[in-house]
Amino acid sequence: MSFPTSTVAWSQSPLQPPAFTAVPARTTLARPPPAPAEPTPPAKPQKVEWPPAVRDYVGRAFEEQNAIKGVSREDMTKKLKDVIGFYAERSQLDSLDWANYPLPQEILRDERAAARAQLGLDALMTSPNGIANMHVDTPHSKKRKSQDGDQLPLRAAEASIPPWRRTNLESRITYSGGPTEKRQKKNTIGDTFSKSDQADLDKRRQRFKNGKANQNPTPPWSSPRRDNDSEMSTAPCVGTNQNLEKSYFRLTAPPNPETVRPQHVLEKTLSLLTKKWREEKKYGYICNQFKSLRQDLTVQHIKNAFTVKVYEIHARIALETGDLGEYNQCQTQLKALYSQKLGGNPAEFTAYRILYFVYTCNKTDMNDLLAELTAADKTLPWIKHALDVRSSLALGNYHKFFKLYLAAENMGSYLMDMFIERERLHALANISRAYMTVALRFLTDELSFDNDDACREFLETHGAQHIIEEKADEQGRRTVRVKVKEAAGIFEGQRQAAFSKVDIKGQI
């Protein structure tokens, strides 16, 4: 039986999509990489409509008559962006009084002035060691004699800002240098802020609209106050207190004229403190009183010969008592005061600086100081002696060094006392490498001891008692010999320990 055959035509529209999606056949078990996504076109930044007050503020910032010497156009522009960006993030552009807000160049000027003044006041107002410097005679050393200095003034920048208004501005300050660039065409607000800046500001504004922004924020640059109180706070205080003695307290508020002593009272105070130091030797009390005296000089902006004298006396007492922290602070102030040609004894204290750098092994500051000295300075007796001390140690000439130690005058002997033990150990380490046995008297003379007993005590104190040997010669006279070679390791170890690093206050 046969069936008829027929051809059936399945009609399919050519526009109908296939019922499946074709994929490439996998040849491995690894997951195929995802198909690259089409790049999203960047959002077109919206144009920011700056309030008219902001536009006027920017225009005034770029006006020629508002330019301030020392503030470059680049620094001013950067500060301008910081100011406007700060308030734009907080949606406060419309609420701020831009007509009376300080211009960016004014903010920079005040920041720099405050930072310079802060550097000058930190040394005086924040030191925990309050103490005085005077010259006095002391009985415990035949070489030491204190001398009253003539004068000294305070650092020029100290009076610019009171210590209770100090803020940490150094990290935010840009100091311009070099010749001022030729002024360019006045920028518009569109030139100052690019489109990307405007887009960023839009995003930030949206974030701060959620209520997380501080309603009354303080700008990071601490915009300067323009009220009368600010102007009065930086003005010198005229004291009316008549008390000769007054305890030192660190300032935490503007000084009260009723607690500040004028200069004629401070001069009487200096005489009283000098007398008390010579008679009573109570260093803690004298230190406190001198810190108070210096503070009264600072808040009244007194910078004259009397100020120099106070600091010189203060430095001498600090050396006499071994307070290198206070001495270093006074010496820093004296260096600034001497640059103002207010008198005093700059050669004497330059010599002390050299010896101080020898003690602290501060080669960097020593090289800077040597570069400042003129040929005439090097011929002055004070400075020449200190330079000879430095060169003798640099050359390893301990024989010359100990002769210079005996020739030291005034406070120089106190400074050398602070490193004489270290240098004696250094010399013994060298002698132990060159000799087997030496006479005790030889060491007494070479190391500038007062007598043989002092030399022997020094050796025993440093663990070398076993190398001291007593013998009688043919005439029956007793001689003391020192077997230095046997103690070479002891002396070398103690020499290395003695040359441990010393900080700027002279503390091991």
User: Stretch 450-470: mean pLDDT, rounded?
Assistant: 88
Instruction: Say if 20 falls within a structural domain.
Output: no
Instruction: Say if 19 falls within a structural domain.
Output: no
Q: State which of 110-114, 193-197, 452-456 shows the largest mean pLDDT.
A: 452-456
Say if residue 301 is in the same domain as residue 275: yes
pLDDT reading at 487 higher than 50: yes
Say if residue 400 is in the same domain as residue 288: no
Instruction: Say if 305 falls within a structural domain.
Output: yes
- What pLDDT score does 172 carry? 37
Contacts 24+ apart (CB under 8 A), 49-52: 50/93, 50/189, 51/93, 51/94, 51/98
What would the pLDDT profile of 225-245 be if each residue is shown by its tens digit? Answer: 444 333 344 567 888 889 999
Instruction: Say if 482 falls within a structural domain.
Output: yes
Say if residue 402 is in the same domain as residue 456: yes
CA 282 vs CA 132, 266, 319, 320: distances in Å: 11, 20, 15, 13
Structure tokens at 191: 């030139």
Say if residue 376 is in the same domain as residue 455: yes
**Domain end: 343, 364, 397, which one?**
343
More confident residue, 34 or 244: 244
- What pLDDT score does 356 carry? 94
- Give the integer Cα–Cα distance in Å for 172 and 485: 60
Say if residue 438 is in the same domain as residue 296: no
More confident residue, 61 or 184: 61
Say if residue 319 is in the same domain as residue 351: no
Angle at 400 between CA 395 and CA 404, to 5 degrees: 120
Say if residue 377 is in the same domain as residue 297: no
More confident residue, 471 or 170: 471
> Could you give the count of Cα atoms lying within 13 Å of 475 in the half-sphere of its Cβ?
2
Question: Closest Cα partner for 68 from 119, 111, 117, 115?
Answer: 111
Contact 244, 276 (CB under 8 A): no
Say if residue 373 is in the same domain as residue 415: yes
pLDDT reading at 332 higher than 50: yes
What would the pLDDT profile of 250-265 be if each residue is shown by its tens digit? Answer: 888 888 899 999 999 9
pLDDT reading at 105 higher than 80: yes
pLDDT reading at 13 higher than 90: no
Say if residue 355 is in the same domain as residue 502: yes
Name residue, tokens 């039986």.
Answer: 1
Poorest-pLDDT segment among 79-93, 161-175, 342-356: 161-175
**DSSP H stretches of helix in 90-227:** 104-125, 189-192, 195-208
C-alpha 35, offset from chain centre: 59
Which helix (H) or strand (E) is 433 found in, with range? helix 411-434
CB atoms within 10 A of CB 451: 10
Instruction: Say if 295 falls within a structural domain.
Output: yes
Say if residue 290 is in the same domain as residue 358: no
More confident residue, 134 or 44: 44
At 471, the pLDDT band (50, 70, 90 cuts) reads confident
The residue range of the domain holding 323 is 129-163+236-343
Name residue, tokens 């002035």.
Answer: 113
CB atoms within 10 A of CB 13: 6
- Give the integer Cα–Cα distance in Å for 458 and 311: 36
* Residue-averaged pLDDT of the chain: 76
- Give the integer Cα–Cα distance in Å for 162 and 240: 19
3-class SS of residue 479: strand
Give the total number of structural domains in the chain. Answer: 2
> Could you give the count of Cα atoms lying within 13 Å of 313 in the half-sphere of its Cβ?
30
Instruction: Say if 191 falls within a structural domain.
Output: no
pLDDT reading at 381 higher than 90: yes
At 317, the pLDDT band (50, 70, 90 cuts) reads very high
- Give the integer Cα–Cα distance in Å for 327 and 290: 13
**Domain end: 327, 343, 359, which one?**
343
Instruction: Say if 15 falls within a structural domain.
Output: no
- What pLDDT score does 139 carry? 41
Poorest-pLDDT segment among 33-47, 444-458, 482-496: 33-47
More confident residue, 393 or 213: 393
Tell me how far apart the 2 most distant CA atoms of the chain are, in Å.
162
Question: Closest Cα partner for 333 from 377, 374, 375, 298?
Answer: 298
- What pLDDT score does 374 carry? 93
Say if residue 385 is in the same domain as residue 474: yes
DSSP line for 291-322? HHHHHHHHHTT--SHHHHHHHHHHHHHHHHHT
Tell me, yes or no, if the pTM score tops 0.95. no
Q: State which of 118-132, 204-218, 293-307 shows the largest mean pLDDT.
A: 293-307
Counting every residue, how long is the chain? 508
User: Stretch 137-153: mean pLDDT, rounded?
Assistant: 43
Q: 379: domain CATH number?
A: 1.25.40.990
Instruction: Say if 44 falls within a structural domain.
Output: no
Say if residue 332 is in the same domain as residue 358: no
pLDDT reading at 302 higher than 60: yes
**Domain end: 295, 323, 343, which one?**
343
pLDDT reading at 7 higher than 80: no
